[in-house]
Amino acid sequence: MLNKYARAFFTRVLTPFAAFLIRRGVSPDTVTLIGTAGVVAGALVFYPRGEFFWGTVVITLFVFSDLVDGNMARQLGRSSRWGAFLDSTLDRVADGAIFGGFALWYAGQGDDTVLCAVSIFCLASGQVVSYTKARGESIGLPVAVNGLVERAERLVVSLVAAGFAGLHTFGVPGIQHLLPVGLWIVAVGSLITLIQRVVTVRRESAEAEAAEGRPGQGSEAAK
């Protein structure tokens, strides 16, 4: 839902800014690299110290680069395989930094082994969820499923939870518990999404092989 509606809204809002950068000679790849660097810095500098509010502010400012670079490429008519590859790869880096920052906090000053493990699970499951779609498409399957918690949902839930949890340092009582709740939501939702995609790929694979008149060849044949 967020990918469909929120992305379209912010794309329209950010179009003038993308046009401004183009006039200044900035390339889409430069925006992608700067955006990722900003997200990584915000996550790994602020989150391990428990500064969730300011870390989220910094990350949010840079995370919109994911929309700006694509908008610029479309305006320039330069959409390319390289741009798509770079954007997708650096998205994984940014996601890893965010959940890695949470894990570092809970492994250190946060002193909560369970939430550290949940943060690591969110990091790993997010990477695997993305991989399942990419791998399915690479073997010729559409992977036609709208997962419960995809990247946009993971980011919104985790960043909103972290940002509000950070208000605890400004004297808002009890609000720090929003981050653990958000991480559990992302963890469970990512697991469900992973199962949805695996089931979809299994079904699409069987349908494709039936249409070709041959039985499934097992996991080794897909490697």
Q: Which amino acid is at 201?
A: V
Helices (H), 28-169: 28-46, 52-63, 65-76, 81-107, 113-138, 151-165
| Annotated binding residue 23 | no
Q: Which residues contact 12 (CB under 8 A, 6 or more apart)?
A: none
Among the listed residues 91, 95, 111, 112, the single catalytic one is 91
C-alpha to C-alpha distance for 105 and 54, rounded to whole angstroms: 15
Residue 69 assigned to a binding site? yes
**190 annotated as belonging to a binding site for a ligand:** no
- Check whether 29 is labelled as a binding-site residue: yes
The CB-based long-range contact list for 167-172 (8 Å cut-off, 24+ gap) reads 167/53, 169/50, 169/51, 169/53, 170/53
**Is residue 70 part of an annotated ligand binding site?**
yes
Q: How far apart are alpha carbons 139 and 202 in whole angstroms? A: 12
User: Could you confirm whether 112 is annotated as catalytic?
Assistant: no
Confirm or deny that 95 is annotated as ligand binding: no
Q: 87 among the known binding-site residues?
A: yes
74 is in an annotated binding site: yes
Q: How far apart are the first and last CA of the chain?
A: 33
**80 annotated ligand binder:** yes
Is 31 annotated as belonging to a binding site? yes
3-state class percentages of the chain: helix first, strand second, coil last, to nearest 5: 80, 0, 20
Binding residues for a CDP-1,2-diacyl-sn-glycerol are 29-32, 70, 74, 80
Catalytic residue numbers, as ranges:
91
Binding residues are 29-32, 66, 69-70, 74, 80, 87, 91
Binding residues for Mg(2+) are 66, 69, 87, 91
